[in-house]
Amino acid sequence: MEFESLFKRYRKMVEEGIGRFLPPDDTYPPVIHQAMNYSLKAGGKRLRPVLMLAAGEWSGIAPEKLLPAAVGVECLHTYSLIHDDLPAMDNDDFRRGKPTNHKVFGEAIAILAGDALLTKAFELTAKTLEQGIPAERVVRVIQELAVASGSEGLIAGQVVDLSSSEAKKDPEVLLYIHLNKTARLIRYSLIAGGILAGATEEEIKALDDYGRHLGLAFQIVDDLLDVVGDFQKIGKPVGSDEKNQKLTYVSLFGIEETKKRAEEEINAAKNVLKPYGEKSSFFIKLAEFILKRES
Amino acid sequence: MEFESLFKRYRKMVEEGIGRFLPPDDTYPPVIHQAMNYSLKAGGKRLRPVLMLAAGEWSGIAPEKLLPAAVGVECLHTYSLIHDDLPAMDNDDFRRGKPTNHKVFGEAIAILAGDALLTKAFELTAKTLEQGIPAERVVRVIQELAVASGSEGLIAGQVVDLSSSEAKKDPEVLLYIHLNKTARLIRYSLIAGGILAGATEEEIKALDDYGRHLGLAFQIVDDLLDVVGDFQKIGKPVGSDEKNQKLTYVSLFGIEETKKRAEEEINAAKNVLKPYGEKSSFFIKLAEFILKRES
């Protein structure tokens, strides 16, 4: 199947899974479920769950079997966006072209909707047991998810990001933020697909390495888009990093060097999975797509 | 062993486990680990983890084996307190006699410390696999934890509590809040001990019923203490429910009727576990202790 149709197929599965595994808006108490669904259904590429389904298929399992865990990682990603956007954090008004969660539902419900999506992520990951996945693999994936998203992973990245500033031009700090805020959950999505599918440790390591390079490239491109992007396409104001004096690749290295670094990471990502031959073609094409993305 | 020494023994295990399973303050980035440990080590009765260890022993397993999950439920409880105290929620300045998390670390770190403790709860629960607990039981307990603390459990209780007010004197709403905000996690603690220990479904049901009555009694007594308690003992200002126009048992039924209801729930709790004989004596004594507690 062509890259684009395969991506669409995975993405369609994810959209359908979101509708199936999340409580509908009118579930009591309705306001919390409206708030959860509002952000979860606000669109987005569904990159992380697509990566998980693709990693599962790459490792030899039908992607349908991983769908609860794939929807779970999208819940986790969405929680992190809702909380990052809060007034006490980045204080953002727009996300994916729509008002942020707290702008619509108020701060209290936005905090709780984030909490509920984080909790749902673990519930849905555990639900893969019902798909016939061996329980040992499910527990391992739950541990990987908790570590990747915890106080030494995703949350650590946000903590360091909050206290970073453009004034302190420290490339090591920038790498730490990118590895934890962005690459960590992308790596998790890939290795979770492998682990749940019963991949070998060598294959899981390859998926992890690919994810690290892909995740870094993704964030570098994100920094670029914040400077040269289009509001209509990225769904949030351009230049917000500069306004917030955020430490970014562009602020450290300039546009040209940043583009070069993104390319290097993408090439490194491709080289990790090329040895596995034809079955890696989706991941090779995906890496090229990430480099060229406009949103 | 006497009730009090047994409670102390369980509690000591929990304190030791908190020190062992949580990253120390200087773990990078230090501010988030300081914030997590600040609230986790602020004291408290450790009721939920003690219940889990006791339910495990009641079901025939050494409590040490459940310790990661027991520390996990204390992490989850602590997250819920940190987020409930936030300015956007109950806006409380004191908890357990100390300034609340956001008063010390600021709102952003308090939100993230709550997120991190919620995440840690699942990591530690999954860690019971390393204690030789069968993986199927671990996955089931993780699902129970997610459901009990999710958007139709603990979080639902908080959502309804936020929108409730003393003005609308609705006993059904009050019961919903108490069942979800308080009883739900107490029930979880008990059944998790049973499930991880391999108890029969009948025993798990009994632990659940006991937890429902105990949890309701606990919250009813909490409402009473907010009116007749002592700041030195309860560690937060007396009368805050009335100040915040919270719907409570006392505001609905008055002090005498509230005391009577607490006694009824305690008796119901005791009657559930009495048929199991001598091994239930800790739970019987605990129920009596909850009724007489002053903090």
Residue pLDDT, tens place only, A167-180 = 677 899 999 999 99
pLDDT band at residue A207 using 50, 70 and 90 as cut-offs: very high
What ipTM was estimated for this complex? 0.96
Instruction: Report the pLDDT averaged over residues B175-197.
Output: 97
pLDDT confidence band for A295 (50 / 70 / 90): confident
Residue contact A155–B108, C-beta within 8 A: no
Q: What are the tens digits of pLDDT across the range B72-129?
A: 999 999 999 999 999 999 999 999 889 999 999 999 999 999 999 999 999 999 999 9
pLDDT of residue B231: 65
Q: Contacts of residue A73 in chain B, CB cutoff 8 Å?
A: none
Task: Identify whether the C-beta of residue B227 lies closer than 8 Å to the C-beta of residue B252.
Answer: no
Cβ distance of B143 and A126 shorter than 8 Å = yes
Q: pLDDT for A60-117, tens place per residue?
A: 999 999 999 999 999 999 999 999 999 999 999 999 889 999 999 999 999 999 999 9
Which chain B residue has its CA at the smallest distance from A149's CA? Answer: B119
Residue of B nearest to A113 (CA): B151
B147-158 pLDDT, tens digit per residue, is: 999 999 999 999
Most confident listed range (B61-65, B95-99, B169-173)? B61-65
pLDDT at B262: 96
Is A289 exposed, middle or buried, given 0-12, 13-18 or 19+ CB atoms closer than 10 A? middle
Question: Which residues in chain B have Cβ-Cβ distances shorter than 8 Å to A159?
Answer: 29, 31-32, 109, 112
Do A36 and B151 count as a contact with CB atoms less than 8 A apart? yes
For position A240, what pLDDT does the model report? 72
Say which range, A216-225, B9-18, B21-30, B223-232, has the weakest mean pLDDT. Answer: B223-232
What pLDDT shows up at residue B57?
98
Nearest to B150 among A83, A109, A120 (CB): A120
Nearest-CB residue to A118 (from B29, B106, B118): B118
Choose the weakest-confidence range: A43-57, B1-15, B243-257: B243-257
Please give, rounded to a whole number of angstroms, the shortest distance from the CA of A119 to a CA of chain B: 6
- Arithmetic mean of pLDDT over chain B: 94
CA distance B18 to B15: 5
Q: What is the pLDDT of residue A98?
A: 95
In 3D space, the residue among B201, B98, B211, B75 whose CA is nearest the CA of residue B149 turns out to be B75
Cβ-nearest to B126 among A29, A143, A163 = A143
The predicted-structure confidence for A5-15, as pLDDT tens digits, reads as follows 999 999 999 99
In Å, what is the CA distance from A180 to each residue of A188, B15, B284? 11, 30, 48
What residues of A are in contact with residue B88 (Cβ under 8 Å)?
A: 106-108, 111
Nearest chain A Cα to B128, which residue?
Answer: A139
pLDDT in tens, A111-141: 999 999 999 999 999 999 999 999 999 999 9
Contact B145 A135 (CB under 8 A): no
- List chain B residues with CB under 8 Å of A105: none
Answer whether B155 sits within 8 Å of A88, measured CB to CB.
no
Helix (H) or strand (E) holding B95: strand B94-95
- Closest by alpha carbon to A199, among A111, A268, A276? A276
Q: Which CATH code of 3.40.50.1000, 3.30.1650.10, 1.10.600.10, 3.40.190.80 fits the domain covering B3-292? A: 1.10.600.10
Tell me the average pLDDT of chain A.
94
What sign results for the dihedral spanned by CA atoms A231, A71, A33, A36? negative
**Amino acid B236: pLDDT:** 66
How far is the alpha carbon of B115 from chain A, nearest alpha carbon, in Å? Answer: 7
Q: Which two tokens stand for residue B9?
A: 């023994």
Could you tell me which of B100, B141, B103 has the C-alpha nearest to residue B121?
Answer: B141
Amino acid residing at A40: L
Q: What is the mean pLDDT of residues B285-293?
A: 94
Closest CA to B46 of B141, B186, B153, B149: B186
Predicted local distance difference test score (pLDDT) of residue B166: 64
Mean pLDDT across B51-75: 98
**Does pLDDT of A245 surpass 80?**
no
Q: Write the residue in A89, A136, A146 that is nearest to B122 by C-beta.
A: A146
Label residue A224 by pLDDT band (50, 70, 90). very high
pLDDT at A235: 66
**Cβ separation of A118 and B115 shorter than 8 Å?**
yes
B31: nearest CB among A88, A152, A159: A159
Q: Do the Cβ atoms of A159 and A88 come closer than 8 Å?
A: no
Calculate ∠ Cα A135-A141-A147, nearest 5°: 140
Tell me which residue in B31, B127, B150 faces A116 most closely, judged by beta carbons. Answer: B150
Q: What is the 3-state secondary structure (H, E, C) of chain A?
A: CCHHHHHHHHHHHHHHHHHHHCCCCCCCCHHHHHHHHHHHCCCCCCHHHHHHHHHHHHCCCCHHHHHHHHHHHHHHHHHHHHHHHCCCCCCCCEECCEECHHHHHCHHHHHHHHHHHHHHHHHHHHHHHHHCCCHHHHHHHHHHHHHHHCCCCHHHHHHHHHHCCCCCCCHHHHHHHHHHHHHHHHHHHHHHHHHHHCCCHHHHHHHHHHHHHHHHHHHHHHHHHHHHCCHHHHCCCCCHHHHCCCCCHHHHHHHHHHHHHHHHHHHHHHHHHHHHHHHHHHHHHHHHHHHHCCC
Angle between helices B135-149 and A107-126 (to 10 degrees): 160
